[in-house]
Amino acid sequence: MQRETELKNWLAQRYPEQTFKLNFAAADADFRRYFRAVFADGNTVICMDAPPDKMSIVPYIRVQQLFHMVNVPKIYHADAEHGFMALSDLGSTPYLAALQHDSRLEVHKALLLEAIDELIVLQQASEPDRLPEYDETVLRREMQLFPEWFVAKELGKSFTLKQQQSWQQTLNALLPVITAQAKVYVHRDFIVRNLMLTRERPGILDFQDALYGPITYDLVSLLRDAFLEWEEEFVLDLVIRYWEKARAAKLPVPADFDAFYRDFELMGVQRHLKVAGIFARLHHRDGKSKYRSEISRFLNYLRRAARRYTALAPLYGLLVELVGDEELQSGFTF
């Protein structure tokens, strides 16, 4: 409540002689919270509360300026010392809610294609040396979340010597393929929860952790979601459509679709390992259990991909030893 009071006072100083009501809007997996200020004239502003002892708003400001070519919130006021920002309001309908409300595949495809178009606009604007590199060090550190948090904390296990060898073989199979991909701006959380349904083009949120890295990463984030899951045929169709659009836009994707799809799948394995670890960490370290039940979805993604590639046979064997070879239902607890 103290932070909310401080935010109200801060906002009142930025909008003197204007009355407003402040309502909770959303919270992130980290420490940020969002409120919607509704003014007497009906105008609205989204307020970010990012406690400065926990995080900085400076990366958000830097990436917001860099991503000006897509529909990100405008920054009206920013106060890094206190961790407050006033942003333009992109509405209250995330893609996730829109997709859950209407289950028709043609609606899902239309919305996802709009998101893909926006992703291509972002990628076309990519320039080296504007964002930190999404390099092997970062990729490896992210993957290590799987043994550190999912295996050790969620399962209460540790790798045997044989399993450690399988894990190392998995890293050796993935990292060269991923780091060889062409590099573009990577949002890093280009998911339906962070896309907003607006009257014009999709709004894009939560971009402050962007890096310069593998071109397939954001597409994987979009199509291998934590809360929605589509049939393989549907995903394949959208990957093809992205690839066709990317080639038409002169983006550096492989000329051979099979090679591109392999890149997409192996990039996905890296991300799925990371996300399983993050969701376990949120529960065991941060006391946030909202995402824990979705770990099973990422284990299913992992098993399916690992079965398809000989180089990932060690990972498939490792997963079978850890959690079995049966498809897990979302909501399963270990």
**pLDDT tens readout for residues 148-164:** 999 999 999 999 999 99
Q: Give the mean model confidence (pLDDT) for residues 292-306.
A: 95
Helix ranges (H only) for 205-312 are: 217-223, 232-248, 257-284, 295-308
Q: Which CATH superfamily is domain 95-323 in?
A: Aminoglycoside phosphotransferase (APH), C-terminal lobe (3.90.1200.10)
Q: Is 130 left (phi over 0), alpha (psi -120 to 50) or beta?
A: alpha
For residue 330, name the pLDDT band (cuts at 50, 70, 90): low
Identify the pLDDT of residue 333.
Answer: 38
Query: How far is 278 from 291, CA to CA, in rounded Å?
Result: 9
Asked if pLDDT for residue 102 goes beyond 70, the answer is yes
Beta bridge partners of 21: 38
Q: Give the mean model confidence (pLDDT) for residues 171-179.
A: 97
Asked if pLDDT for residue 332 goes beyond 50, the answer is no
% of the chain residues with pLDDT over 90: 89
- Output b/e per residue, 170-186; b: 16+ Cβ within 10 A: bbebbbebbeebbbbbb
Tokens representing residue 199 in the block: 């009257």
Matching CATH topology for 2-87 and 95-323?
no
Fill in the amino acid letter for 276: A
The 10 Å Cβ neighbour count of residue 218 is 26
Beta bridge partners of 214: 183
Query: How far is 109 from 256, CA to CA, in rounded Å?
Result: 23
Query: How far is 287 from 285, CA to CA, in rounded Å?
Result: 6
Helix orientation angle between 257-284 and 136-143, rounded to the nearest 10 degrees: 50
Task: Identify the weakest region by mean pLDDT among 23-27, 129-133, 234-238, 255-259.
Answer: 23-27
Task: Identify the weakest region by mean pLDDT among 127-141, 254-268, 272-286, 314-328.
Answer: 314-328
Identify the pLDDT of residue 249.
Answer: 98
Q: Which fold has domain 2-87?
A: Phosphorylase Kinase; domain 1 (3.30.200)
Asked if pLDDT for residue 308 goes beyond 90, the answer is yes
Q: Tell me the pLDDT tens digit for each residue of 33-69.
A: 999 999 999 999 999 999 999 899 999 999 999 999 9
Domain locations in the chain? 2-87, 95-323
For residue 1, name the pLDDT band (cuts at 50, 70, 90): confident
Q: Give the mean model confidence (pLDDT) for residues 309-321.
A: 97
Identify the pLDDT of residue 334.
Answer: 34
Confirm whether pTM is higher than 0.85.
Answer: yes
